[in-house]
Amino acid sequence: MRKPKGIRMVSALCLGCFIMVIFYFNSSLKPEPLGERSSGQKSRRSPLQTLYEGDQAESAVQAIHQGRRELLEEACRSYTRKRRVLIPEDLKHVIVDDQHGLLYCYVPKVACTNWKRVLMVLTGVSGDHKDPLAIPANEAHVPGNLRTLSEYSTAEINQRLRSYLKFVFVREPFERLVSAYRNKFTRSYNTAFHKRYGTKIVRRHRLDPQPEALEKGNDVSFEEFVYYLVDPATQREEPFNEHWERVHSLCHPCLIHYDVVGKYETLEQDSRYVLQLAGVDEQLRFPTSSKSTRTTGDMAADFFKNISPFYQKKLYNLYRMDFLLFNYSVPAYLKFR
């Protein structure tokens, strides 16, 4: 006996929905490899394929990065309780290079200027500049020069997260923090930061401030900066500036599976590794820094000498996740233990 027309239509519709769901999950499980063209013609191997499907013998560098990925995954399982869905706001620091299949989450004070210069050369937005160091530092930070993942549609975001090599560079948290303080509060040319943050810090955390300090905010001490960071009112009022925001809040390493976690301490080696995976290491070198003013561990220890154990502990708790996720030990110079 034939089914009524209405029942046949409902059955067909349900079957169609089922097929669509299966296709969705199949496409999620089998992302389209970047290294193949839609016509079936083989093209170059993508950085992600080179990393996970390469047939070369495992090198010491590969082993180091596999170890870092495993440590990060284990730390995420151990120290994060709730999983949530990524939103576009989370992806504003993730720079996209569609030509080479790269996603780079930039962290201020961790060689991000040079990485942006490199990506400007790779994506062609640098114009005639083929040497990253020929690009002025301020030009590297101009909004719009490089696209971020937050600018794409949901489908485009998911496709890139599946198919592109995702990398981030991190640094010992307190060395990065001291570097940010030195750059933004002790340099006379950073008047914008002095006005924006220095005046607020002086007003809130200095007893009997002078009128000039209240107006200019150009003589903030490291102790006052620490008081500002650990003050609960600071983050209630607005998010941290990216230069002292925690890496896990900028790059969300427990939501985004980073394939390469580079470290500032091994910057040259790790940068060369990323460029090798991208297949551009013969045409482009990551700029090496010869700065003698670079913030070191000993320098950070000097800055912390005048911070009481009570505030050292509060500051460590604030940056604790960055220490744990990226396998940095508690600095020996801290006194609260």
Q: What is the pLDDT of residues 98-146, one digit of tens each?
A: 999 999 999 999 999 999 999 999 999 988 888 999 999 999 999 999 9
- Those residues whose C-beta lies under 8 Å from the C-beta of residue 131, and which sit 6 or more positions away, are 121
Q: Would you kindly state where each structural domain of the chain is located, as residue ranges?
A: 47-172+246-293, 175-242+297-326
Query: Tell me: the pLDDT tens digits for 61-110?
Result: 999 999 999 999 999 999 988 778 899 999 999 999 999 999 999 999 99
**What is the pTM for the complete model shown?**
0.86
Range 202-207 contact pairs with CB under 8 angstroms and sequence separation of 24 or more: 204/228, 204/231, 204/233, 205/231
Amino acid at 96: V
Tracing tokens 């997260």 back to the chain, one arrives at 161
Instruction: State the burial class of residue 88 (Cβ atoms within 10 Å of its Cβ: 0-12, 13-18, 19+).
Output: middle
Give the chain's length: 337
Q: Exposed (0-12), middle (13-18) or buried (19+): which is 138, by Cβ within 10 Å?
A: exposed
Model confidence over 21-59: pLDDT tens digits?
Answer: 322 223 333 334 444 433 333 457 899 999 988 655 568
